[in-house]
Amino acid sequence: MINFEELEKNLNISFKNKDLLTQAFCHRSYLNENPDFKLSHNERLEFLGDAVLELVTTEYIFTNYPDKPEGDMTSWRASLVNANTLYEVALEIKFNEFVLLSQGEEKENGRSKKYILADSFEAFIGSLYLDQGYQACKDFIEKHLIKKKLEEIIEKKLYKDPKSLFQERSQEIESVTPTYQVIEETGPDHMKNFIVGVFLKEQLIAEGEGLSKHEAELNAASKALKVKKWE
């Protein structure tokens, strides 16, 4: 069994209700193989954590950038709380070592899957909120997410939508509007995975993957910008 005391020590956080911490890392697949496990999966905690995460990041940006318009603040927040950023942070604090997965997911490198780690991060926020309240979540999110990622997002303009940027570059340089096409769609209805290709005329420039068509299109556009050296 995974030792969550090690995680608490690493984060310098001690949960009053240890079950909340364990549940935050319990993937649905684990229960399929362990139906008698005493806890539920982490999807409800993820729902709660997502809301807390959005409020904390909104409050921080609003307070610390008083002269910025709504559009900029919205873009910065979206870049902070998207799956890519949460996945990076989850890896940095080694959440991948604590996820409870089925043997099948383990074999398919589930600990390295972006959506599993991003969801676990949100679920952890939800469990921390229930166990210790808003201020503890705020301290954690500011330390591990906002202060590590926001400055880079602003400086490198990572908040710009790669799909919009790729369209601008395509029209400006090649006088072509890119198109997107779903190449592959896998997984059950509640957990679809999409691979989308971005094309200039008939030429496939790059492919992107995501849990929604929109996310896959953004990832495809981001890769296409690198392929074309239009970053």
Active site residues: 50, 122
Q: Which of 53, 54, 49 is nearest to 24 (CA)?
A: 49
Cα–chain center distance at 89: 9
b (16+ CB within 10 A) / e for 196-223 = bbbbbeeeebbbbbbbeeebbbbbbbbb
With contact defined as beta carbons under 8 Å apart, do 52 and 81 qualify? no
What is d(CA 11, CA 140) in angstroms, rounded to the nearest whole number?
9
With contact defined as beta carbons under 8 Å apart, do 93 and 141 qualify? no
- The residue behind tokens 């409050």 is 59
What is d(CA 223, CA 77) in angstroms, rounded to the nearest whole number?
22
* 16: number of Cβ within 10 Å: 9
**Helix and strand counts by DSSP (H, E) for the chain:** 12, 3
